[in-house]
Structure 1
Amino acid sequence: MVHRLEPLVIRHTHRLPSPTGPAGEGAVAARQFDAALMSVGFKLSAELLARLSGLSEGTVVDTAVRTLDTVREMVGDHVRHNVYFVDFPANVPDTYDFWMRCIADALGDEAARPHVLEQLSEGVVDLLTLPSYGRYQHTYAEMLGHHEELIAAAGDRVTVLHLGADAETEVTALYLALAGSSTPLGTEALAELGALAAMCVDGPQPEVIPVRENRAVINWSRLRAGATLLLDTVTDVLRLACAVSGGDVTLVQPTRLRGLSRPVRRALLAGLDAVVAAAPAKLADVHAHREDFKRLGERLHPHEYPQWPHAADVFAVARGEKRVRSLDSQVEELLGMHDVTGAVKLLRSAPGKLFRSLDRLLRMALDQEERDAVATAAEEVVAEVSGRVLLSVREHLANRAQDTGETRVFVNRLGRAWVTEDERPPVLPPERERLVAVVDAELRRRLPAPGHLLVDPDVLDVALPLSGRAAPAGLGVLPRGSVSPVEGELLRFFVYWKQAARRTDFDLSALMLNADYSTRCWLAYTNLKDLEGEHSGDITEAPDGASEFIDLRLGAVRGEFIVPQVNIFSGEGFEEAEESFFGFMLREAEQRGRPFEPRTVRMKSGLRGPGRVALPLAFRRGPDGRWQAKWLHLYLRGTPAANRVEANQVSVATLLRGIVEREQLTVRYLTGLMDATTTTVWDGETVPEGPVTYIGLQRPDGLHPESRIVVPENLRDLIPA
């Protein structure tokens, strides 16, 4: 059964668990496997190729079939990407001419002619009613016949698959890494943790599980296995109840709690009773989710279990029958009386809350004495604050200079973004600089000595993943705020979606902005081609899946920013569709090839957020004229239907300005704090002989086996506890 989790290991670590089977002459099959991988942008490491070559041919073939299925899905090659215009990017017509051609075709159709004539008499034609508009006019095989083979180029992506340990060891290591993560996981990774937890429930467990959502998923597996639950707050029990009901363990979205079996009710009530009996003050946590606890009480029937009176107290607090004051309410009362010093004294018992409240406390302080009290308290409790909170506060302070900006950008846990005016007074420089120094010193103390530090320069501007929710699952995806180089002549975006139950129309667009964020032009179904490039054509339904592409010649782009976006014109949302993902490719002008070529894909990510407009990333021209990607992973609410690039250009530009001009904490910041014996900039070729701490975008082949390796897939490991 552990082999079923092999795809998870490959996706998260780019390691293939060591294949097992009879020895044999598998060298020929292994080389064929390597060649097949290269066609989709992957390659076997020398060590893995040698291992496969010593196994039987049948074992190699079986391994190849499983692995190819996994990597093709990673890059988006598991589906067929057709285009409306069969020759795309060649022979894309003028938009107006194309629409006239669709009308002419409809007039030649006896069934469609009467309705089209009626519309023409009124002066408006609905494109969606034209038989030839928005639906593929050729098969996938016919489209392939119009395109020459892709010419290999030195810049094509090559993702190396390395040899891992045996499957059980690799699965256990991945489980421990995800379960013990110091930052929250994305939705997909959280679901994968659940699968791993079910397999590893009787095996080694992480020393600590810092993220509560992770604990809830693990507890659900432990509950099913009859193992001891890991609970230390009443909210842990509520999250577990949501997991049992198949709901949201983050508690962001309300969960419809199911009827619970008697053994489950007993386990949850016993857990609540033990938590409250050990620390009655934890009853105060009920206030944050009072309505959820009321609904949970209706499912647990605590009155039937008098042996757990402390559990009954939880629901008495939720109903208001028992009064317990929360720390937050006490702090709010003091701040309401402008007693900053008193609030600081109270918050010292909750160091994380104190640090998250620093900005507000400093803004409310009336004099230097109160400001000093705030900073002194932070200095005294900084050692008790989690590394993730310290980094978040450090980034916040870096953006709170005396001259405040005009807008604030808010992004919630789900990636939905909005902008508002920033009317806060500044945090004064003396306190801001004092707190920055405190945080820097504490993080420097916590970071492990890296020894010989080997750094890929391309990773230095990657943002620290303070939350896994800041980036969706996928290939080549970097955290929100990251900057990465873009090298190639042609930039091609793609979106794929498949509707689940009703007609669904996604529209891929690209907005070009000037340096001042004003609109220059755009490419979309309403403007199929321009100096910058071409659109592959509008597809308006996807019962069998559909793709749209935009091809851009970077040298011809006017303006300083390119903002691709996916607008939902009609139908299912991103989270309702059976499947939806976005990505981009880079290639040279002479490469030609099909519209979708997997080995030119640099990034592919799922579209699974709220809202009706997705903004995965933006591209900006750097000071040296070279293009860079700025990672966004944002969703706008949009309108229920008919979202178009023309209608949201102002809100997109405003949001982009807020993200681009915000200072991010990056890998460069953390490596600058590390006390390395030697620091070497990776040149892409030379591998040091001894063990190193390597930080880069992709693991080099041939590193010493005792090296510590940090790549985007495990970048969260850099976050100190």
Structure 2
Amino acid sequence: MSTWLEKQIVMRTLRVPVPSGDEPSGDEPSGAAATAARRFDAALMSAGFKLSGDLMTALSGLPEDTVIRIAKWTLPAAREMAGGHVGHNAYFRDFPRNVPDTLDFWTGLLRNTLRDPETAPAATESLRHGVLNLLTLKGYGRYQHTYEEMLAAHDELIAAAGDRVTVLHLGGDVDEEGERLYLELAGSVTPLKEDELAALRKLAGRYEATEVPGGVPVRENRAVVNRARLARGGEPIVDTVTDVLRLACELSDGDVTLQEPTRFVSMSRPVRRALLAALDGVVRDDPGKLGDVAAWHERWKRLGERLHPHEYPKWTGAADVFAVARGEKRAPSFAARIEARLASGDVAGAANVAKSAPGMLFRSLDRLLRLAPGAEDAVLDAAGSVAGRVSGRVLLSVREHLLNRAGATGRTRLFANRLGRGVTAPDTRPPLDPDVVARLSAFLDEEIRGRLPSAGHLVVDPDALDVALPLSGKAAGNGFGVLPRGSVSAVDGELLRFFVYWRQRRLTTDFDLSALMLDEDYRNPKWLSWTNLTTVEGEHSGDITDAPEGASEFINLSLARVRSRFIVPQVHIYSGEGFEEVEESFFGFMLRDEEQQGRPFEARTVRMKSDLRGPGRVALPMVFIRGDDGQWCAKWLHLHLKGGANFNQVENNRVTTSMLVRGIVERRHLDVRYLTDLLDAEKTTLWDGSAPDGPVTFIGLERPEGLHEDSRVFTPENLGDLVPA
């Protein structure tokens, strides 16, 4: 586990675990470790990383072989973060130079194909039916040169002041850092991404005995931790019947989010006893929680077949759960009880019933207030009486919702589920009373302010002010330099270059990189894709249609020549395996100056690299927006379109894409700026590059060097820790 754990620590925290008490032996040559550390630092620079001063000093005091061992797993982790762990070839060897016009390119390939006796028959047959099948053209869709030949065709990258440099910081020993990572994941107040949940699963087996301060608030995380507790003979931590259902799914290697059905496995008698005892305890303490069973009644029936509750007649509460699931016992859910009150026109009564489920009450506030002319005070009073039992994440979500309700009628509503599938619809809801919105917003602000810690001296990097609060880890992709959906970040560079890499697992798979450009009204589309290799604004690197050893596509744009208001990069699955089926796939972008030259892919110019995962067949990672002053910024989407089973193209989904882009560009998100205005700080200053003398609370895009050792630091890697419990 150690190598995996060490890489996880570096990639998730940007800290390098360094062993303590490992002193150089007396026969080692003086300065050998320092020399190895400098070589290590130089190698990291090629990927856009470097060692902090403290880390360099610590490594220089270790044995040389220890430094080399640390470098052997840190370098691959750094390269993988930026996407430089694979070879990125381009179909057109000289890209972005010498990219042909699309029709000229196809005509040339057709001419060569018809001249070759081996390839001419298939192309001729295709043409006979009035269709040009590009896959019948000799050389289409497959590299015509080696990776090494492509490298030889490009000059070295010229260093520029704007190149990315990400600092890796000094960490404790592996076990200390591993436990710290476990506590961060287990104690997260926002749901984790799939890869984070998988990491927690491995860490829980090693650190389960470590108490998580404040408990495990997210139910999915709790199921993972509970599995480790059961494995060690402990009791699961549950307070709802659904907690037990999630745990059963986890024990069956199923879906703890309950989005997909789980096929429950046979369980040992001790495990069955533990689950049934937990169910009985929940129902005995609060029989009303039987109302949660109906939402998952089919899964409860299947689970009952594995747990055999009839063997334990003393646990009547557990038996009641399965009786409700089978319809033998009535236990209306909170939702049903609320709907019954609303159907009778008793909005105040519905709000009073919902007080037993505070989170549901707050998520229903918009609807209740719309249905409550004359009863607004009763609804707000009900919310105020239970606000202390609502999670900070829900409070922030409701506050963000209110930001987008003023004048919302007639605008586009964006819906994004937890898997990133995005759809839009016209907003037909009647407006809320502005006075009621103002009262509720002020109340939420005060409630959130009261839960935030004292910041002392608060130092904020201005570049982080427009980063959206991570109200769900699932609103962001997994990768490097990735920010939550709705975040805005500056784009400083002359050349903007997108890239996608994929490696198929079993089937021939064709991913296509495209860029859709729209005007200020989200209209007049133009695009770069395999069907349009060149425009005035830029170039496409060429279509690759098969990736058994991995393949890359690029789009190069000169921002000075782009006259559109929006640039929307997209990745389409034209054929083959999906984003969750391929061996590996990721998207990213680079920024360069015009004179830098270099290879199509240069790790140290990568600003963002995000794994492509999701249920759709079209990925929309982000949108680039040109401001009125001509400056560009990026707004993060992390969305998917369902798309077709095959043959997805930018031309076919441009209308849907433009609606999604409009929905998220015009949506307001709670960001770091909002939270810093609420934090109780003795003093607030903007980061100017110089570290204050004493401890501070620092919020920024990355941890700077020189901060006091007792400082609290919040960066995108742990920004969720600012979300109050």
TM-score range for the pair, normalised by the shorter chain length: over 0.9
* Residue 79 of structure 2, aligned match among 51, 72, 86: 72
Give distance in 2, aligned partners of 1:376 and 1:316. Answer: 36
Question: Aligned pair 1:713/2:713, yes or no?
Answer: no
Matched residue, 1:341: 348
* Residue 656 of structure 2, aligned match among 639, 643, 651: 651
**What whole-Å deviation, never above 9, does each CA across 1:159-201 have from its counterpart, x for those lacking one?**
1000012221111111111111111111111111111111101
One-letter code aligned to 1:697: L
One-letter code aligned to 1:311: A
Deviation, structure 1 residue 252: 1.2
119-128 vs 392-401, which moves further: 119-128
One-letter code aligned to 1:467: S
Matched residue, 2:17: 17
Give distance in 1, aligned partners of 2:275 and 2:385. Answer: 37
Give distance in 1, aligned partners of 2:419 and 2:228. Answer: 25
Question: Aligned pair 1:418/2:423, yes or no?
Answer: yes
Deviation, structure 1 residue 279: 2.4
Q: How many residues of Structure 1 are paired with residues of Structure 2 in the alignment? A: 718
| CA pair 612-114 structure 1, distance change in 2 beyond 3 A | same
Residue pairs, 1:322-401, within 5 angstroms: 322-365=329-372, 367-368=373-374, 370-401=375-406
**What whole-Å deviation, never above 9, does each CA across 1:663-685 have from its counterpart, x for those lacking one?**
110000000111211111112x2
Instruction: Name the SS for the 2:525 alignment partner.
Output: strand
* Residue 55 of structure 2, aligned match among 48, 52, 60: 48
Q: Is the CA contact 1:404–1:425 (under 8 Å) kept in the aligned structure 2?
A: yes
Deviation, structure 1 residue 123: 2.5
| CA pair 520-284 structure 1, distance change in 2 beyond 3 A | closer
Instruction: Name the SS for the 2:624 alignment partner.
Output: strand
**What whole-Å deviation, never above 9, does each CA across 1:575-596 have from its counterpart, x for those lacking one?**
1111111000011111111111
Deviation, structure 1 residue 326: 1.7
Matched residue, 1:33: 40
Give distance in 1, aligned partners of 2:101 and 2:6. Answer: 48
Unaligned runs of 5+ in 1: none
Question: Aligned pair 1:495/2:500, yes or no?
Answer: yes
Matched residue, 2:697: 693
Instruction: Name the SS for the 1:270 alignment partner.
Output: helix
Deviation, structure 1 residue 259: 2.9
Residue pairs, 1:307-322, within 5 angstroms: 307-322=314-329
**What whole-Å deviation, never above 9, does each CA across 1:572-616 have from its counterpart, x for those lacking one?**
110111111100001111111111100000000111111100000
Give distance in 2, aligned partners of 1:478 and 1:66. Answer: 26
One-letter code aligned to 1:153: A
Deviation, structure 1 residue 3: 5.3
Residue pairs, 1:441-590, within 5 angstroms: 441-590=446-595
Give distance in 2, aligned partners of 1:157 and 1:620. Answer: 21
Matched residue, 2:7: 7
Deviation, structure 1 residue 379: 2.7
TM-score (norm 1): 0.98
Aligned-CA RMSD value: 1.3
Deviation, structure 1 residue 307: 4.1
**What whole-Å deviation, never above 9, does each CA across 1:451-470 have from its counterpart, x for those lacking one?**
11110000000000000000
Matched residue, 2:105: 98
Instruction: Name the SS for the 1:401 alignment partner.
Output: coil
Instruction: Name the SS for the 2:455 alignment partner.
Output: coil
Q: Is the CA contact 2:525–2:654 (under 8 Å) kept in the aligned structure 1?
A: no
Deviation, structure 1 residue 226: 2.2
Deviation, structure 1 residue 288: 1.5
Deviation, structure 1 residue 7: 1.4
Deviation, structure 1 residue 301: 2.1
Unaligned runs of 5+ in 2: none
**What whole-Å deviation, never above 9, does each CA across 1:346-384 have from its counterpart, x for those lacking one?**
12232222111110001111x32x112112222333232
One-letter code aligned to 2:7: P
Instruction: Name the SS for the 1:495 alignment partner.
Output: strand
Give distance in 2, aligned partners of 1:280 and 1:362. Answer: 30
Give distance in 2, aligned partners of 1:213 and 1:679. Answer: 36
527-536 vs 323-332, which moves further: 323-332
One-letter code aligned to 2:554: F
Give distance in 1, aligned partners of 2:676 and 2:595. Answer: 39
Matched residue, 1:165: 172
Sequence identity of aligned pairs in percent?
62
**What whole-Å deviation, never above 9, does each CA across 1:93-144 have from its counterpart, x for those lacking one?**
1000111111122113222111212222332111012231101111111111
* Residue 707 of structure 2, aligned match among 689, 703, 706: 703
Give distance in 1, aligned partners of 2:118 and 2:277. Answer: 69
Instruction: Name the SS for the 2:718 alignment partner.
Output: helix
Matched residue, 2:308: 301
Deviation, structure 1 residue 2: 4.7
Give distance in 1, aligned partners of 2:583 and 2:608. Answer: 20
* Residue 180 of structure 1, aligned match among 187, 195, 205: 187
Give distance in 2, aligned partners of 1:642 and 1:344. Answer: 49
| CA pair 79-325 structure 1, distance change in 2 beyond 3 A | same
One-letter code aligned to 1:687: A
Matched residue, 2:633: 628
465-474 vs 102-111, which moves further: 102-111
Instruction: Name the SS for the 2:394 alignment partner.
Output: helix
Q: Is the CA contact 1:179–1:206 (under 8 Å) kept in the aligned structure 2?
A: no
Question: Aligned pair 1:61/2:78, yes or no?
Answer: no
Deviation, structure 1 residue 433: 0.6
Give distance in 2, aligned partners of 1:301 and 1:375. Answer: 45
TM-score (norm 2): 0.97
323-332 vs 114-123, which moves further: 114-123
Instruction: Name the SS for the 1:562 alignment partner.
Output: strand
Q: Is the CA contact 2:513–2:571 (under 8 Å) kept in the aligned structure 1?
A: yes
One-letter code aligned to 1:508: L
Matched residue, 1:195: 202
Q: Is the CA contact 1:293–1:315 (under 8 Å) kept in the aligned structure 2?
A: yes
377-386 vs 329-338, which moves further: 377-386
Give distance in 2, aligned partners of 1:454 and 1:297. Answer: 54
